[in-house]
């Protein structure tokens, strides 16, 4: 496998081959897919064409992560702040999951991928919610890569909801303040059941979190690239993983 990865990287980049060790693949990769609009603008195209091509990159990233043995792939698809965009663009973004799943769900099922979604589903248009629910239901018993879409997701809302639910349980007398631990909070966040991201990727040159998994990325390794999301392919995932493997994760301790 290492040989194949080296050859591929060497050819595509014209750079030194990068070695990926099969023993140290990040279990959970999270991606802030950014730059669709700028990708389109740089080609004189409308922003939605960028989103359309971004959808193809989601497919490439999913296949690449699956081939590499990543266990969890979280994709930031729409934030709680993205409603501020023009209605036409929001409408288009809400149609994309429907289209993506119509095109790709059968292949995802074939590859044993389990689709999940985290975010406030109630605020989604009915067609978006229905497509996501169907994909989740049809793949819930799959045991391969977990493809987790963050859709209408915001970390502050997630933390707010978690705190409110604990407050309500305390008021109802079924939880005591002493029982509030990191583990309890983990289990009550929308990502409950998923390990924290090992590797967080953001495209488009922006170096911020934009309200993404603020609690869970406490010790994630961050990797930024200037390329726009619609350009993302296997090469970039491999570059990110190669860099991840060169990092020394100390968690505040000593090596």
Q: What amino acid positions are annotated as catalytic residues?
A: 34, 82
Phi, psi of 186 (to 5 degrees): -50, -45
Asked whether 173 and 143 are in contact (CB, 8 A), the reply is: no
Q: Is 154 in the site for ligand IPE (CB under 6 A)?
A: no
Q: Which stretch binds ligand IPE (CB under 6 A): 2-10, 35-43, 112-120, 166-174?
A: 35-43
Q: Is 155 in the site for ligand IPE (CB under 6 A)?
A: no
Site string for ligand IPE, 36-65 (x = CB under 6 A): xxx---------------------------
Residues 89-118 that bind ligand IPE (CB under 6 A): 93
- CA 43 to centroid of chain Cα atoms: 26
Using CA atoms, how far residue 109 sits from 106, 129, 144, 151, 248, in Å, is: 5, 19, 9, 20, 36
Task: Find tokens 């080296």 and name the residue.
Answer: 6
Which spans in the chain are helix H? 2-13, 36-41, 47-68, 87-110, 126-139, 155-171, 182-188, 234-246
Least distance in angstroms from the C-beta of 93 to ligand IPE? 5
Nearer to ligand IPE, 18 or 94 (CB): 94
Least distance in angstroms from the C-beta of 181 to ligand IPE? 30
The token pair that represents 46 in the structure block? 């409308």
Least distance in angstroms from the C-beta of 191 to Mg ion? 22
Residue selected from 5, 20, 25, 32 as contacting ligand IPE according to rule CB under 6 A: 32
Phi, psi of 9 (to 5 degrees): -65, -40
Least distance in angstroms from the C-beta of 152 to ligand IPE? 10
Nearer to Mg ion, 34 or 158 (CB): 34
* Residue 73 burial by Cβ neighbours in a 10 Å radius (0-12, 13-18, 19+): buried
CA distance 134 to 139: 8
Q: Is 206 in the site for ligand IPE (CB under 6 A)?
A: yes
Nearer to ligand IPE, 9 or 98 (CB): 98
Q: Which stretch binds ligand IPE (CB under 6 A): 73-81, 101-109, 125-133, 160-168?
A: 73-81
Measured torsion, CA atoms of residues 96, 97, 98, 103, in degrees rounded to the nearest 10: 90
Nearer to Mg ion, 34 or 221 (CB): 34
Residues forming contacts to ligand IPE in the complex (CB under 6 A) are 32-38, 76-79, 82, 93, 204, 206, 208, 210, 229
């Amino acid at each position: 496998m290492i040989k194949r990865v080296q050859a591929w990287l060497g050819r595509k980049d014209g750079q030194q081959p990068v070695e990926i060790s099969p023993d140290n693949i990040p279990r959970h990769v999270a991606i802030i897919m950014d730059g669709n609009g700028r990708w389109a603008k740089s080609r004189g195209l409308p922003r939605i064409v960028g989103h359309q091509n971004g959808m193809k990159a989601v497919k490439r990233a999913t296949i690449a992560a699956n081939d590499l043995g990543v266990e969890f792939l979280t994709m930031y698809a729409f934030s709680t702040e993205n409603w501020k965009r023009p209605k036409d663009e929001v409408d288009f973004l809400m149609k994309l999951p429907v289209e993506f799943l119509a095109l790709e769900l059968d292949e995802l099922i074939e590859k044993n991928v389990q689709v999940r979604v985290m975010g406030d589903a109630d605020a989604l248009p009915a067609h978006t919610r229905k497509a996501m629910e169907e994909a989740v239901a049809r793949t819930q018993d799959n045991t391969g890569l977990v493809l987790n879409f963050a859709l209408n997701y915001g970390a502050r809302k997630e933390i707010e909801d978690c705190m409110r639910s604990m407050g309500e349980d305390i008021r109802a007398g079924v939880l005591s303040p002493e029982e509030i631990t990191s583990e309890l909070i983990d289990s009550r966040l929308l990502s409950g059941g998923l390990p924290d991201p090992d590797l967080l990727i953001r495209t488009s040159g922006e170096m911020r979190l934009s309200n993404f998994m603020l609690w869970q990325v406490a010790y994630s390794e961050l990797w930024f690239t200037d390329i726009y999301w619609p350009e993302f392919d296997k090469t970039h995932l491999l570059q990110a993983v190669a860099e991840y493997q060169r990092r020394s994760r100390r968690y505040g301790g000593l090596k």
